[in-house]
Structure 1
């Protein structure tokens, strides 16, 4: 399971397609986006459990938030509660692709450049489950899609129905509402946060750009996240996520946009007709590299077997040989070896030799992290 980005169309071709000036068509650019970071701020305020590291910031903003603005925040929270809408990466939808603006005002101008069809499709993505990675008619032109949008919105409550009805009937009015709301959020809390965050994001941007120019794409993507890999010969970037889809840069290029508020989310914009975007959390050296989706599946499967659960009860307390475990559990040594092999393959055991004996012990640190690793994996 992964999201794959075909980069074979990037220029220049060859072993280092990313060594190019940021912003050129068909090239890779690393650029911060104030609009994307505002989207992540709204997401964190709506789903603080996704971002335990932001608890104090969320508490502070919520405590001083104007009640009227807080109510407005609930009117369209489906644009940022589930994750956050592609509307916050509006630069990718501008025909031909564009770089994010230097400030929120420039970003909102890019948002204004999206067609009504683009705006409506992106706004209804999470609530109405419209096709994302393939072409097709939209609800503004297709009556069946319009009916489906309203039907799906009804299942989510009256607030969603009102928003969907307004969006389908008067897209310019909803666009104006969202623009004003984002400007009010900027004045209320985001401008202050951005004044701090932009320095960290700019530093990360310089680092990744330098890696692109001097070390190549593989080094730069390795610094973005261990979950991102590249096969230069195949012209393919692979992002380890719970999903299975593919997109291509064509001649529009690829944007790498860092986020400070977004951890643990590592998101790939792969909407049909939009420039692909890799929206990644800036690195934290103190955090261990997250396991892959395959590793998570192996570990959870390994621990789910009742015999291996009983083995773990002993192995968590002390180190044991295969023979000792066989005697304690009344199982043959080959059967114990098989179960230990499953646990070891999943990365849950440590082993050490004592003379001619091999001692096995549960890696309790890895097991203790499994819950947070699983949560990070499904939110990635």
Structure 2
């Protein structure tokens, strides 16, 4: 399976490498929502989470399906605007202004991508214009939880209100944590974009795409770019060009925007995080001891499947919260748990990467 981008008639000047503050903020929100996907960013995510006030954390949960399980195209609004000359803004404010330029139909379609209400790469009316698609979107949102239903209902009823809510939320994220992060990573992304631009100029598209990712290949004879992914899709540059957008926070994700009518975008990670250092013998002993207790093995089973609060674990195990807390403390000291705050709640989850490094038999056993 793969995503294919037909590039017949694509001119060299229509390929642009450029960073985007809004796209990077989207990846930051994803890394905060799914720290297990980004083990190289765990210290950063823990530091940001510790600084979040409960109100902002609750708002982050309210629409996290825009960046948690999918990466909404709303974070690359320049691709949805007419013509091939619209680039990401030089600042987050500039990108948010581009987001405001999307039509209500474009905004709603991209925001409801998580419902899979219509084929992503196909033309046709959206849920604002089609009552059947509206019903289907709400049905699919219901399968994902009450928060998604409430958000979808408000979005379909009053798109301008949700647009204003989202802009204010993103501006608040910028003030609380992202501006500092962008000041650290933005220059590196700009340097990578300049490097890709130089490769395009000196050595051509094939060389630049090879530097983007080994999963991206150019078939010049067929005038097609193929991105090796488990998902399938197809789009064309037509006369709109191609954008290469680097991300410092996105590894290991290689995103391909191939929405019908939008300019294709390759959103690629610029580097891999450093590999974790091997644990000491003392740390190994702590981990083996922690996993040897039958109660902690049962907790690992629960925490391997989803993040849980202490109260949820206590009810599930028929134990008191203090008893559960003592076992969690042992697992955490051994480096086998991740903990994050979600609004008023503290969620614990098994660090599957750390457990897998100990041995696949144990991991398979608790996931069986």
State the TM-score, normalized to the length of structure 1.
0.71
The Cα shift of 1:246 comes to 1.2
Q: Determine the C-alpha separation between the residues in 2 that align with 1:39 and 1:208.
A: 22
Residue 76 of structure 1: aligned partner: 63
Q: Which residue does the alignment assign to 1:216?
A: 204
Structure having the higher Rg:
1
Aligned to 1:334: none
Deviations 1:135-166 (A, max 9, x none): 11111111111111112222222211111111
Q: State the partner residue of 1:377.
A: none
CA distance in 2, matches of 1:230, 1:283: 21
Q: Does 1:5 align with 2:9?
A: no
- The verdict on how the C-alpha distance between 1:4 and 1:162 changes in structure 2, with shifts beyond 3 A counting, is same
Match of 1:203 in 2: 191
For residues 257-277 of structure 1, the C-alpha deviation after alignment (integer angstroms, 9 at most, x for no partner) is 000000000010000000000
The 5 Å alignment of 1:284-303 reads 284=272
User: 1:224·1:283 contact (CA, 8 Å) conserved in 2?
Assistant: no
Q: Is the 8 A contact 1:128 1:153 kept in 2?
A: no
4+ residue runs over 4 A deviation: 284-287
Distance verdict in 2 for CA 1:158–1:207, change over 3 Å: same
Q: Is the 8 A contact 1:124 1:130 kept in 2?
A: no
Quote the residue 2:83 is aligned against.
96
- Taking the aligned partners of 2:236 and 2:245, their CA distance within structure 1 comes to 17
| Greater displacement, 108-117 / 126-135 | 126-135
Q: Give distance in 1, aligned partners of 2:9 and 2:74.
A: 25
- Tell me the residue number matched to 2:161: 173
- Aligned mate of 1:43, from 20, 30, 42: 30
CA drift at 1:223: 0.7
Q: 2:264 aligns with which of 276, 279, 294?
A: 276
User: How far has the Cα of 1:216 moved from its partner?
Assistant: 0.7
2:252–2:272 Cα contact (<8 Å) kept: no
- SS of 1:96's equivalent? coil
* Cross-structure match for 2:141: 153
The residue aligned with 1:226 is: 214
When the two chains are superposed, the root-mean-square deviation of aligned CA atoms in Å is 1.8
Q: Would you say 1:55 and 2:31 are equivalent positions?
A: no
Contact 2:40-2:273 within 8 A present in 1 as well: no
For residue 51 of structure 2, what is the aligned residue in structure 1?
64
3-state SS, counterpart of residue 5 of structure 1: strand
Runs of 5+ consecutive residues of structure 2 not aligned to the other structure: 276-355, 361-368
Structure 1: gaps (5+ residues): 12-17, 21-26, 288-366, 372-380
C-alpha distance in 2, partners of 1:153/1:206? 41
For 1:149 and 1:8, how far apart are their aligned partners in 2? 34
> Between Structure 1 and Structure 2, how many residues are aligned?
278
Secondary structure of residue in 2 paired with 1:256: strand
Q: CA deviation at 1:285?
A: 9.7
* Aligned-residue offset at 1:84: 1.4
> Alpha-carbon deviations, 1:164-194, whole Å to 9, x = none?
1110000000000000000000000000000
User: Are the structure 2 counterparts of residues 79 and 223 from structure 1 closer, same or farther at C-alpha, using a change threshold of 3 Å?
Assistant: same
Q: TM-score, normalised by structure 2?
A: 0.73
Once the two structures are superposed, residues 222-270 of structure 1 have per-residue CA deviations (whole angstroms, 9 ceiling, x without a partner) of 1111111101122111111102221100000000000000000001000
Shift of 1:283: 3.1
Distance 1:285 1:229, change over 3 A: farther
The residue number in structure 1 matching 2:152 is: 164
